[in-house]
Amino acid sequence: MFPIGVLAEVYEKQGGEAFAITPVGSTAGILALERGMAALGMIARPLLPEEKARGLREIPIGHDVLVVVVHPSNPVNNLRKDDLRQIWEWRSAYWSEFGGPRIRTLPHGREYGSGAHAIWSEVIGTTNYALPISPDGSLIRQEVMIDRRAVGYVGLRHLRRGGVKAIRVEGMAHTDPAYPLKYHVSLVVGPKSPPAVWRFVRFVRSAEGQRIVAEEGLIPLGQEELTTPLEP
Amino acid sequence: MMRAVLTAIALLVVGVVGGLIGLVLVKGLPGVSGSLLWSAAERLGEAGGLRPVLTSTVVIVGGAILLVVPIGLSAATWLQEYAPPSLWVEQVRRLIEALAGIPSVLYGLFGFSLFAVGLGWGWSHLTAMATLALMLLPMVIQTGAEALRTVPDELREGARALGATRWETVRYSLFPAAAPGIVTGVLLALGRALGESAAVLLTAGGDLRQPQSLLDQGRPLAAHLYHLTILDADPNRIWATAAVLVGLVLIVQLTASWLGARLQR
Amino acid sequence: MLRAVTLGVAALVWLIGLDFLWEARPAMTALWGWDWRPALGRFGIPALIGGSLMVAGGAILVALPIGIGVALYLTEFAGPRRNRWLQRLLQVLAGMPSVVIGSLGWIYLVRAMGDRSDGLRLVITFGLLGLLILPTVATLGASALNALPPGYREGAIALGATRWQAVQRLLLPAARAGLFQATLLAFGRAIGETMIVLLTVRRDYAGFAYGMPAVQPVTSAIAMEIPTSVGIHRAALFGAGAVLLGLSLLMGAIARRFGRP
């Protein structure tokens, strides 16, 4: 997940308050937020309706993309969503079907329940989820880096580490504004979060905060998103 | 012939284990510096130092030991000195033996369910130390009971003859006599807690800021090594972190075996 | 007071088991398929248990011959000095944090090997896990062999048997209960190990549904999926924990039976 800790570090160095930040996509995380044990949460999927009903609120701080990556030696440069679905459902067994060598395809995914998995399933529409999984995008990058068969999806900051090759989806590079696997990364404020949290939220959405967001591998928010009023 | 084969096997094991430890220390120790140990972590631990990690390690492991020692020694004392020789006491012993065989990840799962979610402590130092304390209990009980068992009966009879109550006997003659054995057991538990990652990953969370309270998340050394590995951090940093971990475990172990050897004399 | 504490500790076994079963309630009917595919609502615990047994079995295949070899060396050939040093080394190995072995194994063996062979990746896991349980086999094996009456081997050798014949025909069969116990305890330790499998095995969803070596042991599934699981998925993970708990306790109980002559 995006290193929100870096933002908190900078904020603290500038004399701001220290916050406990918890990943929300989990029972313990939501509980910590609702009981006021963590001041802030982070989430990569939209909040569920029942989570919103319990008083949790999401505030977008940037975009991330799921970049489709393959081994650097793989000559394939583009896959359609339908191709990806075929590979993920084990119906396309060889790279030769997409203009590559006659090497097996081996899709790597994230574990069920993670934000990345939810977005991938929604956009690509895979149902038959049977494949190697990793508990973090950085592990998927390492698995793809060493395996000519592999294809996986990782966040932007993992791609920046190199060792893997990004390919286009539906002809679009991940830098394209219309890239289909793009999603919001949000902070989540709970009913018991202290008011000081909003100062941090404003910092993250300030010009400096957005600069750090970009440095750490997210796509900064657009101007119109930044001007939406925030107050509770 | 047979001698040669078995010697070769033994040498192989010595080579692999010695090689592993030697490699970790040789490749890792040069990277261990004051600034690595004392400065704050940055960039999810990929830069900066180990201060929050070492703080969490001390708090969680130390807290677990502080929790487990009184409970474990109470149980050991009862089993060894008070329990009547009966069938149900035998059952109790068996249950405690069974506890020792439960995988650590299941202690983690239980701690997550009971302490983090059930009691609402969330992922925290407190949750992790309570979980580790449960995991270490059978070990401390068994080594404690063993240490008391080896105390010669004359000591018990002598104290009784002087009119001491059972508790006074335990307190003033048995505990001092069994102390080296008890301490050895506690040290072994300490080493096990230092090296434990699975139970801690499920209960401590992963925050890397300097912890301020027991309810803050934390990331002790062994868990940190796991995170660095999946992040594909700089190998020198991984070696150095592994060297700190292995070094600490070795120090604890060598102290324990030194004490154990003194005990036998 | 002391008694209450002791009984409380002993009750922990039941408490853990009941807690797991309670947490697993919502998933009880979903647990019996042959594949583990959470996205489809399939939580076949047998698939995970199969993964655990396979990995632990492989580790035993590595640790058993080497461990018994070391045990024989310790009891038959090593002088007291070497004996002491080797035992100490085994103790150090037993205390080695498994995450260190897993981490270095992933970076310098699995990742360095690349895509050359899926089977070899599994074999590396067997080897690393075997290394971890080696001290259990070797030390318990040695004490089983040591427990034999000393007249045994001298008698056989006096009757003209070679050392090898004495070991093979007499010592190993006589110590078999103890050796079996050592094997069971080591096996129990291997199915409960988390960090090595989490880092080196290719963590496959799906279990036996596909014609590839798909392995996902219970321990790594729990460690990996608990943090993000909700609802029935989380319940199923607790169910898997309950089954692993039962398996570990059973293994320990059988081992203890063999421990008492």
What DSSP string runs through A124-160? H------SBEESSHHHHHHHHHT-TTEEEEE-HHHHT
How high is the pLDDT of residue B242? Answer: 97
Strand partners, A184: A63
Residue C176 has pLDDT above 60, yes or no: yes
Q: Among all residues of chain A, which has the CA nearest to that of C118?
A: A147
Q: Which residues in chain C have Cβ-Cβ distances shorter than 8 Å to A28?
A: 227
**ipTM, interface predicted TM-score of the complex:** 0.94
pLDDT tens digits along A115-153: 888 889 889 987 656 678 898 899 999 999 999 999 999
Residue B264 has pLDDT above 70, yes or no: no
* Option in A27, A130, A135 nearest C206 (CB): A130
Give the closest residue to C182 by CA, choosing from C258, C253, C98, C97.
C258
Q: Which residues in chain A have Cβ-Cβ distances shorter than 8 Å to B116?
A: 28, 31
A81 min Cα distance to partner chain B (Å): 28
* Option in A90, A113, A121 nearest C229 (CB): A113
B162 min Cα distance to partner chain C (Å): 24
Residue B1 has pLDDT above 80, yes or no: no
pLDDT tens digits along B160-198: 888 888 888 888 889 999 998 999 999 999 999 999 999
- pLDDT, mean of residues B82-95: 91
- List, as ranges, residues 156-175 from B with C-beta within 8 Å of A: none
Residue B258 has pLDDT above 80, yes or no: yes
How high is the pLDDT of residue C215? Answer: 77
Q: Give chain B as a DSSP string.
A: -HHHHHHHHHHHHHHHHHHHHHHHHHHHGGG--HHHHHSPEEGGGTEE-SHHHHHHHHHHHHHHHHHHHHHHHHHHHIIIII--S-HHHHHHHHHHHHHHTS-HHHHHHHHIIIIIIIS---SSHHHHHHHHHHHHHHHHHHHHHHHHHTS-HHHHHHHHHTT--HHHHIIIIIHHHHHHHHHHHHHHHHHHHHH--HHHHTTS----SPP-STTS----HHHHHHHHHHHT--HHHHHHHHHHHHHHHHHHHHHHHHHHHHHH-
Computed over every residue of chain C, the mean pLDDT equals 89
Cβ of A8 within 8 Å of Cβ of B124? The answer is no
* Option in C35, C205, C230 nearest A113 (CB): C230
Q: Which residues in chain A have Cβ-Cβ distances shorter than 8 Å to C202?
A: 132, 143
Cβ of A131 within 8 Å of Cβ of C205? The answer is yes
C66 close to B (CB below 8 A)? yes
3-state secondary structure C196-218: HHHHHCCEECCHHHCCCCCECCH
More confident residue, C150 or A154: A154
pLDDT tens digits along B20-43: 999 999 999 999 998 889 888 887
- pTM value? 0.93
B74 min Cα distance to partner chain C (Å): 5
A192 close to B (CB below 8 A)? no
How high is the pLDDT of residue C87? Answer: 92
How high is the pLDDT of residue C112? Answer: 92
Instruction: Please report, rounded to a whole number, the percentage of residues in chain A having pLDDT higher than 90.
Output: 36
| Residue A77 CB neighbour total at 10 angstroms | 15
Q: How many beta-carbon pairs below 8 A join chains A and B?
A: 56
Residue C261 has pLDDT above 50, yes or no: no
Which chains form contacts with chain C, at 3 or more CB pairs under 8 Å? A, B
pLDDT tens digits along C5-31: 999 999 999 999 999 999 999 988 878
Q: Which residues in chain C have Cβ-Cβ distances shorter than 8 Å to B107?
A: 16
* Option in C72, C96, C194 nearest B105 (CB): C194
In the block, tokens 């409970």 appear at B71
- Return phi, psi of residue B157, to 5°: -65, -40
pLDDT band at A232 (very low <50, low <70, confident <90, very high): low
Q: Among all residues of chain C, which has the CA nearest to that of B1?
A: C164
- pLDDT, mean of residues A170-196: 89
How high is the pLDDT of residue A11? Answer: 87
